[in-house]
């Protein structure tokens, strides 16, 4: 079998239910620690690039283009494994996160925890966002 | 402050960016082991019920109604913590999973792993789906 026009292996493409926008949700989890780092979206092209390069590439819905994670900030994600859920609408990426995943400079995007009364920041800022993005 | 009409605390409601369908993605992670069990969707009503009862309730997009996880199968999820990501479009639920999360009888819905050639089943069927759903 040859790859699809977007470069995805057909058996993988067939197992993924890309939505009406051509997107699938992707959860990034740190290998070993099991921390959930972030959730973002992929289209066929970004998934294909991720598999080819081993560096995680998402699809930015807001910018409407490929989002090579860490391209600006250096906070790259190296793909260790890829799983597909039972109904094919979510991917689980096991990754090696270089530095921090969140644009706020925190390790994970899930740093606000509900304490029953309000959301509390439970993760420290490890890197200055101004340094990460050269602002 | 009083709760919103759907019963959500206003500060939590304000932090969540429900999409045009009124939904937010929710990732369920087992407390302790860090296993990712599943990803599903919540609306305000299902999130409110989850917070009030401590038992995870999703919104079923296919059935168009509240999905009280485990109501039929007995495989309930008890909420241990709730986090919101930086842009408010994904929730992370830390849970105590009773039994298995997947309707196939596997612990996690992410049981198909890409090996570079094909998807391989990497998790055993722990419970007979026919027993779970009385078919």
- A27: closest chain B residue by CA: B27
Is A14 a member of any domain?
no
Q: Which residues of A touch B12 (CB under 8 A)?
A: 114, 119
For CA atoms A14, B66, A115, B3, the dihedral sign is positive
Residue B119: inside a domain? no
**ipTM given for this complex:** 0.94
User: CA–CA separation, B135 vs B26, rounded Å?
Assistant: 28
B25, B56, B110: best mutation site toward chain A, by most A Cβ within 10 Å?
B110
Q: Check if the beta carbon of residue B109 is closer than 8 Å to that of residue A2.
A: no
Query: Containing domain of residue B22, as a range?
Result: 10-98
The answer to whether residue B45 neighbours chain A at the CB level (below 8 Å) is no
Longest distance between any two alpha carbons in chain B, whole Å: 55
Mutate: best of B90, B95, B111, B121, partner A, most A CBs <10 A: B90
| H or E segment and range at residue B44 | helix B44-53
- Asked if residue A73 lies in contact with residue A31, where contact means CB atoms within 8 angstroms, the answer is no
Contacts of A29 in chain B (CB under 8 A): 34, 36
Q: Count the domains in chain A.
A: 1
**Is B34 domain-assigned?**
yes
Establish if B57 belongs to a structural domain. Answer: yes
Q: A52 in contact with B at a CB cutoff of 8 Å?
A: no
Q: Sheet containing A36-42: give its strands across.
A: A36-42, A24-30, A90-97, A77-84, B112-114, B119-121
Say if the Cβ atoms of B110 and A29 lie within 8 Å: no
CATH of the domain at A67: 3.10.20.810
Q: Min CA distance, B21 vs chain A (Å)?
A: 14
Q: With respect to residue A113, please indicate whether it lies within any of the assigned structural domains.
A: no
The answer to whether residue B72 sits within a structural domain is yes
What pLDDT score was predicted for residue A133? 82
pLDDT surpasses 90 at B1 = no
**Tell me: the pLDDT tens digits for A90-135?**
999 999 999 999 999 999 999 999 999 999 999 999 999 998 887 5
Looking at the DSSP assignment, which residues form a beta bridge with residue A125?
A: A106
Over residues A59-94, the pLDDT tens digits come to: 999 999 999 999 999 999 999 999 999 999 999 999
**B126 within domain boundaries:** no
| Residue A3: inside a domain | no
Determine whether the interchain pair A113/B82 forms a contact, defined as Cβ–Cβ distance below 8 Å.
yes
Give chain A positions within 8 Å (CB) of B33: 34
């Amino acid at each position: 079998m040859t790859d699809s026009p977007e470069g995805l292996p057909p058996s993988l493409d067939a197992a993924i239910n890309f939505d009406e926008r051509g997107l699938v949700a992707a959860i990034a989890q740190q290998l070993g620690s099991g921390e959930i780092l972030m959730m973002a979206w992929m289209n066929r092209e970004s998934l294909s690039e991720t598999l080819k390069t081993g560096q995680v590439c998402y699809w930015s819905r807001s910018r409407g283009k490929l989002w090579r994670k860490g391209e600006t900030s250096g906070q790259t994600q190296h793909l260790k494994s890829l799983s597909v859920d039972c109904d094919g609408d979510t991917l689980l990426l096991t990754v090696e996160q270089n530095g921090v995943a969140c644009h706020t400079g925190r390790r994970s995007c899930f740093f606000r925890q509900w304490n029953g009364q309000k959301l509390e920041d439970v993760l420290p800022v490890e890197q200055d966002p101004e340094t990460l993005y050269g602002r």
